[in-house]
Amino acid sequence: MLSFYPFLHNSDLAKFIDGSHPTPPKTVDNLPNPAYTAWFCNDQLVLSWIIGSTHESYLSQIVGAATALEAWNKLATTYASGSRAQIRLLKSKFYRLQKGSTESISQYVQRAKHMWDQLSALNSPVP
């Protein structure tokens, strides 16, 4: 997920996940607020990028998130602050990873990548 963070900065959209661009009011003087409409469109774009770049096993964590910031915070809260025990367990599984006899190479590599992604998200990547 962190791989698209530079893209968000370059596109001036990181403000939708770092909290620096709060939601404008939906209306101003009882009329639709164009600033809200523009904010909403960009926020939903970022939210769709988060959903699209999130491994399917993590999607349950962001179901129901209405904004990009809400989805980002849910993922960060759940995965970015892993305990040492959680990291040790994941590393142990990663180092003992073996290809199953009925498993394709593609499936094996997918499992390895998934574990590597989890460790990276916990700020403990495998070199």
| Spatial contact of 80 and 122, defined as CB atoms under 8 Å apart | yes
Q: What is the pLDDT of residue 35?
A: 96
Give the confidence band of 123 by pLDDT, cuts at 50, 70, 90.
confident
Mind listing the pLDDT tens digit for each residue in 70-109?
Answer: 998 888 777 666 667 778 888 888 888 888 888 899 999 9
Q: Both tokens of residue 111?
A: 């499992």
Q: Both tokens of residue 29?
A: 């003087």
Report the predicted TM-score, pTM, of the whole model to 2 decimal places: 0.62
Helical H runs in the chain?
A: 5-10, 34-53, 68-79, 84-95, 105-121
Q: What is the pLDDT of residue 80?
A: 60
Mind listing the pLDDT tens digit for each residue in 37-54?
Answer: 999 999 999 999 999 888
Residue 11 forms beta bridges with which residues? none
Q: Hunting for tokens 């001036």 — which residue is that?
A: 12
| Spatial contact of 3 and 120, defined as CB atoms under 8 Å apart | no
Q: What is the pLDDT of residue 6?
A: 82
